[in-house]
Amino acid sequence: MSIVILEGTSSRTLRLGVGHIAGTAFPGEPGNIGIAGHRDSYFRALKDIRSGDEIGIQTATGPSHYLVDAFRLLS
């Protein structure tokens, strides 16, 4: 899957794509990155994601790879 990551998690942002959660690392930086999105649209393909799965993010400065540590579904 390929999705544009926007900055922020406002309702408008999440209607347009997925959003980087403020206060978490940016792609390519050390630390945990938080990405929010609607599970019935942009993240539908992630319905079977599990801890230990790998996610790659491509930015203008190159690729970053992450292992899923935890996930949470919000209703």
74 falls within a domain:
no
35 falls within a domain:
yes
11 falls within a domain:
yes
Task: Identify the pLDDT of residue 75.
Answer: 61
Task: Render each residue's pLDDT in the chain as its tens digit; 75 residues.
Answer: 888 899 999 999 999 999 999 999 998 888 888 899 988 888 888 888 889 999 888 888 889 888 888 877 766
34 falls within a domain:
yes
Buried (b) or exposed (e) across 4-34, using 16+ Cβ within 10 A? Answer: ebbeebeeebbeeebbbeeeeeebeeeeebe
73 falls within a domain:
no
40 falls within a domain:
yes
Task: Identify the pLDDT of residue 18.
Answer: 93
Helix/strand number for the chain, H first, E second:
1, 5
60 falls within a domain:
yes
pTM, full prediction: 0.76
Task: Identify the pLDDT of residue 40.
Answer: 84
Q: How many domains would you assign to the chain?
A: 1
52 falls within a domain:
yes
Can you give the residue range of the structural domain that contains 25? Answer: 5-67
